[in-house]
Every structure is written in structure tokens, then in C-alpha cells.
Chain A
Amino acid sequence: MSQPPGPMLKAAKTRRGRGAAQEGQSNEEHPVPGRAEQGIDEVRRRFVGAAAVSALVLAPGVSLFAYAEAGGNRAAGASSKRRWGLLIDTTRCKPSCTACVSACSSYNGWKNEGRPTDAQWIRKVQVSDPKTGFSRSVPVMCQHCGNAPCVEVCPTGASFRRADGIVLVDRHICIGCRFCMMACPYKARSFISENLTDQKPWAPRGKGTVEGCTLCVPRVDAGKIPACVEACSREGGGAMTFGDLKDPGSAIRRALAEHPSVQLRADLMLDTGVHYQGL
């Protein structure tokens, strides 16, 4: 398997202060953007600069992407002043539409070929009430919980929650124990069971580790919206809203304030970052 190092890979290494030789197995390593609240902005700033220079020198093909993705929002980083979240209006989600799934798959480079070992970062779940006939089509992905069970159970701390609420897997230290998959109530994580090819430089993946929706963190850090949200507004019913749950003026907060919404498995009190309306 070959895979260009990519700007995000450099991000993780810079953050940890370790070189490629110490990391080893770098062709299967993964990005770990902004891990802790403390000092993250500073680390990120240093990294973005280093990544940009490195990319310019070492990988001209990738450097364009580095500028495009990382350049737009250099000073932003992961801040606890934000809580990124999604609102999904299921009344606008068409059962036949899989634009969000296709966009996620295309952007992040995972493929569902119908095998039970295939990764699926997002899926459409057809939901119907057998007693009333009420039905909905619901995109389900990592719910980016405030009290994430995957983070709690991970023995090495590879599952972690960024200061801005995005839950990620640090695939440098994921040992592939799959305890997070046992603990996740949403079946949001996938284990990579075989070697992969044709990976995206900004979303490197690795055999033997666990992965899931990153809320398109490279895009978010670059000031963009996740690929699924963009695709939904462009090709779907405009059912998905992305934004800062802590900003009272954001579209997502206003929509949540105006209409009732639910969190999946709200009884578990996981404080999910993903909310649903119309369920």
C-alpha cells in the first residue's frame, strides 16, 4: 500500500513532536488534528506553517491542497469556544437520496461494496414505526458525543474528543482492540480488515485500526462545511445544517431553538453533537 504523506499526517507528527523514524509504519498512519484544548492553537499554528513549507518542498502535488485546505483558517484550530454540530431535518431527507453517503465516501475514500467488513462512515437508515406506519429515512454517522463512550473505553486514549467537540481516532496509537466499536451505541465506527489502496491524502486510513466520521475535519478546519452537508444542500433536500452549537446566532442554534429536536438514544445522556428533527 502506498500513500502520500499529506499535510494532515504531518500535522499529527508535528503535534506530537516526533519524527517519521519514530512513528514507523507511516504509510498506515493517520491524521490527528487538534487534540487537546490546552495549547492546541499554538501547536496548530506551528504545524500549519511547517506543513505548508514541507508540502511545498516535498510534495508539489499535495502542496496545492495544503494551501487550499489549511490556508483558509490558520488561526482557528480546535477551540472549546465552539462546539461543532449537525442538525438533520428528517422531513426533508428523501428515502431514495444517498447524496450525503456518496459525498462522504468520495471525499474520505471509503467504499461500501456490500461486505460486512466494509467501512461505512455514514449510512441511511430506513426507520418505520410498526404501530403507526410513520417512516423516515435518517442519515446516521458518528454523533460526536460530549460524553463519548468510545473515548471512555479506549485503553490508549486513541479515541479522543477535540476541544470543539469533534470525536476522532488517533490512528498513531489505535491498537485495534475494537472496544470502542463495542461501546458505541450508534454503530458509527468501522474496523479496517485489509490493506487499502487509493487513499485520500487528507484522510489516510490504516489496516488494523478503527475509523469513523471525522465531521470532515480538514474541511472544517479550513473554514468549510462537511462534504455530506454540502452534498445534501446541493443534490439532496437541504436536510443537513452544520454549525457552532455554542453560537446563539448560528443557523443551527436558531433552528434548534425554533423547532423540537431529538438526540438518538437520548436516554443515555451522551450529549450528542448531532441532532434530529422530525423523528
Chain B
Amino acid sequence: MSAIHYREIDGQSAGFWGLAALLAVLMAAGLTAAYFMAHIGHIITGMTNQVVWGVPHVFAVFLIVAASGALNTASIASVFGKVAYKPLARLSGLLAIALLLGGLAILVLDLGRPDRLGIAMTHYNFRSIFAWNIFLYTGFVAVTGWYLWVMMERRLNRYTRMVGTAAFLWRLILTTGTGSIFGFLVARQPYDEAIMAPMFIGMSFSFGLAIFILVLMAVFKGTGRSLGDEILMRLKNLLGVFAAAVLYFLLAFHITKLYEAEFRGAEAFLLWDGGIYTFLFWFGAVFLGGALPMLLFWLPQTRRSRAAVGWGSASVVVGGLALMYDIIIGGQAWPLSIFPGMHVSSSFYDGVVNFYAPSLPECALALGGCALALFITLFALKLLPFLPETLADEEA
């Protein structure tokens, strides 16, 4: 492979500033929503004492999971020595940090007391997976930042493999921690499975790579740089495998649940008669997140199509959000089983499927976090040489 030349994007075009302005507006909307949520209270959201985590958590967890997956490309290059991916490694690290910061911003601003972030950073209960995640998330930003530094500083290039391996291990642990937030919830029947940790790793591989491909295609198209078929086809083949892995984990997860009688009510709700949640699982997670992209990537009619790569990646993102909504909101919609086998009713909505409808402020906060991730990416690309000048296919 010939030498790789990296260069900043110009960032002078109307398209660049138009996009920057749009993202700034979305971020401002998110901040405004967060202000009102903190000032007036969560009463302005759709969250209740029944569904305590809402759309902000769907997007926050999605972004955090995707962040660790966005590092895939860099890991493949540095840890597994695949030189074809090396030109993409810097963008991979940058996206990982940007997505994580976007997700964290949502999580923090959704807190009942966001002004107590300092307390969250100084008071730790190490039996809490949440407390561990605070370290895992901030550590991930630090390790990935270090990784970018050794990749971009020629004199430090020799440490790339070592630091890349550290970042790779860190991201595996990070996503294990995120999946365990739900896997450890023994109180709630839709969760409570150890497989949620590796399932989240599979999801991170898929969602993160899909976002990476979309950003790569958009930036190369926007800046007029050449993106060859060879690297794109490699990436989409990998994404197809990751999407299949998510389907496999979902199958194993639900088969396990269905095998246990105590979980069958919750499973019937999520998979069969749960209305929006059933729809989101089958059409969103299974079809859009898995089946459709695999068809687009591997059917003879579309397997060489660049458009199919883009649509397939977008489909993975939409399906991933649907799956996250299904897991987080659907899991809370199903009532707690305090008296197993009994019919129950109370003034506190015991025994009924909990209602949730997202409100505008929480959607604004969620989109604001996504905008922050893209904003960071956009300006980082303008300020530092993250992208190769060309990724054109090499002549034989």
C-alpha cells in the first residue's frame, strides 16, 4: 500500500456551514429542553413513575453503544493488523469519542439533578454498575484520545498497536458494562439475562460500524474525495456479519426467556401482542436492523451497489434505535411481577401495561445529543487531519 496522506477538510463551503448551523440549532434546542426539564421538572416529559427512562435514554444508550462500535475500524487496523483499514483508523477513533460525548451529554442533562454532576464524579458506590460506567465512559474518551494521539504523531506511531489494544479491550469492557445495566436488573422480567452484555457488544459492532460507514460516505462525497469500492465493500460485508450477529443474540436471548415459564408473559407482550413494542421488534430490530441490510448487502442485484451500502447502513441505524426503544421503553412498559401468577390492581398502576408517549422536550434533548456528536466530528475534521486525501482503489 502506498503512503497515506491525511488532510483536514476545507470547511469553507455553504454546505459545511449550513450543516454546522443546523447542528447548532439542534444543540440549542436540546439545551433549552434540558433547561426547562431542570427548571420545571420532568413533568414536561413523557416519563412517569412507571416509565422512568424515556427517549433520552434510548438515544443516549444507542450513542454510547455505537461509540464503542465506531472504534471497530481502528481496532481492525491496529490490533488485528489489517492494513486496508489503517487509513480509516483516525476517523474511527474520532467518531468513537464524539458519539460517546453526545450520549453522555444526554444522560447527564436528563438527570433529575444535572447540577449535581460534581457529586456523581466524587461520590462512588462501587457495587453499582452505573458508578463503574462513569469510569468506563470517561476512561474510554481518555484512552481513545491517547490512541488518536499515537496514531497522529509520527514519532509515537510505534505505540499504536499497544494503545490500540488497550482501547479495544476498554471498549469491550465498556459495552459489557452498558449491557449489564440491564442484564443485572433482576426485578424486571424483560431484562435479567447475562447475555445482555455480549448482546450489547454485538449491537455496538453493528450500530457503530453503520454510523461510521454513513459518516465516511457523506464526508467523502461532501468533500469530493475519492472513496473506492474495495474498502466500502469490505466494510459493508463486515456490517452484514455484525447485523447477523445481533439477530443471533436476539434469538438466543428470547429463546432463553421463552424457555423459562416466569418470563413467558413478558415475552408474549414484547414479541406477540405488545402493539408498538412488538412492531418495533419485528419490523424495526429484526427487519430494518438485520434482514434488510443483509439482503441489500448480499443479494446479487445489489451487492455491488454503493447506494445499497448507504441504505443498508441507514437501515441498521434505524433498526438499532427501534431495538433500543424496544429494550428500554418496552421493558418498562411490562409491569413488575410482585405477586407472580396473580391478578393485581392498584392506584399505582400495578398489573397494567404502562403507557409512555415521548414529549417534545425529551425528543429535543435526544436529538441535541446526536447533533453534538456530529458537530464535534465536523469541526474536528476541519481542524485536524483525520481523513486521508483519497481512498480510491489502488491500481493492480
Q: For the complex, give the distance between the alpha carbons of A166 and B347 in Å.
A: 25
Number of interface residues, chain B, beta carbon within 8 A: 55
Q: Are A181 and B112 in contact, with the CB atoms below 8 A?
A: no
B223 CB-CB contact with A under 8 Å? no
Q: Give the nearest-CB partner of B339 in chain A.
A: A127
Which of A7-15, A45-53, A169-177, A245-253 interfaces with chain B? A169-177
Task: Give 1 or 0 for each of A142-160: 1 = CB within 8 Å of chain B CB.
Answer: 0000000101111111100
The minimal Cβ–Cβ distance linking A158 to chain B, given in whole angstroms, is 8
Q: For the complex, give the distance between the alpha carbons of A149 and B184 in Å.
A: 10
The B interface is mostly helix, strand or loop, or mixed, namely loop
The minimal Cβ–Cβ distance linking A209 to chain B, given in whole angstroms, is 6
Which of B41-49, B147-155, B238-246, B293-301 interfaces with chain A? B41-49
Task: Give 1 or 0 for each of A175-187: 1 = CB within 8 Å of chain B CB.
Answer: 1111101111111
The minimal Cβ–Cβ distance linking A105 to chain B, given in whole angstroms, is 11
Q: Are A120 and B119 in contact, with the CB atoms below 8 A?
A: no
Contact A179/B130 with A123-B347, A153-B184 known, Cβ cut-off 8 Å: yes
Which of B120-128, B284-292, B383-391 interfaces with chain A? B120-128
Contact A126/B346 with A153-B130, A177-B130 known, Cβ cut-off 8 Å: yes
A233 CB-CB contact with B under 8 Å? no
Contact A130/B123 with A117-B48, A176-B111, A264-B338 known, Cβ cut-off 8 Å: no
User: Cβ of B130: which chain A residues have Cβ within 8 Å of it?
Assistant: 153-155, 177, 179
A210 CB-CB contact with B under 8 Å? yes
Q: Give the nearest-CB partner of A176 in chain B.
A: B112
Q: Are A153 and B129 in contact, with the CB atoms below 8 A?
A: yes
User: Cβ of A120: which chain B residues have Cβ within 8 Å of it?
Assistant: 49, 347-348
Q: Are B186 and A149 in contact, with the CB atoms below 8 A?
A: yes
Q: For the complex, give the distance between the alpha carbons of A118 and B340 in Å.
A: 25
The minimal Cβ–Cβ distance linking B73 to chain A, given in whole angstroms, is 32
B349 CB-CB contact with A under 8 Å? yes
In B149-203, the 8 Å CB interface with A consists of 181, 184-188
Instruction: Return the contact of A187 from the options B41, B45, B116, B336 (Cβ within 8 A).
Output: B336
Instruction: Return the contact of A126 from the options B53, B117, B337, B345 (Cβ within 8 A).
Output: B345
Q: Are B346 and A124 in contact, with the CB atoms below 8 A?
A: yes
Q: For the complex, give the distance between the alpha carbons of A200 and B129 in Å.
A: 34
User: Cβ of B337: which chain A residues have Cβ within 8 Å of it?
Assistant: 265
User: Cβ of A118: which chain B residues have Cβ within 8 Å of it?
Assistant: 49
User: Cβ of A154: which chain B residues have Cβ within 8 Å of it?
Assistant: 125, 128, 130
User: Cβ of A128: which chain B residues have Cβ within 8 Å of it?
Assistant: 342-344
Q: Give the nearest-CB partner of A171 in chain B.
A: B113
B392 CB-CB contact with A under 8 Å? no
Q: For the complex, give the distance between the alpha carbons of A69 and B40 in Å.
A: 34
Q: Are B112 and A208 in contact, with the CB atoms below 8 A?
A: yes
Q: Are B43 and A156 in contact, with the CB atoms below 8 A?
A: no
Q: Give the nearest-CB partner of A172 in chain B.
A: B119
Contact A125/B112 with A155-B120, A173-B123 known, Cβ cut-off 8 Å: no
User: Cβ of A207: which chain B residues have Cβ within 8 Å of it?
Assistant: 41, 112
User: Cβ of B113: which chain A residues have Cβ within 8 Å of it?
Assistant: 174-176, 208-209
A194 CB-CB contact with B under 8 Å? yes
User: Cβ of A174: which chain B residues have Cβ within 8 Å of it?
Assistant: 112-113, 116
B350 CB-CB contact with A under 8 Å? yes
Q: Are A187 and B348 in contact, with the CB atoms below 8 A?
A: yes
The minimal Cβ–Cβ distance linking A201 to chain B, given in whole angstroms, is 22
User: Cβ of A25: which chain B residues have Cβ within 8 Å of it?
Assistant: 115
Task: Give 1 or 0 for each of A50-68: 1 = CB within 8 Å of chain B CB.
Answer: 0000000000000000000
Q: For the complex, give the distance between the alpha carbons of A175 and B41 in Å.
A: 13
Given contacts A173-B119, A265-B338, 14 further A-B contacts (CB under 8 A): A116-B49, A123-B347, A128-B344, A155-B134, A156-B120, A176-B111, A177-B130, A181-B49, A182-B188, A183-B187, A186-B338, A192-B41, A195-B40, A208-B41
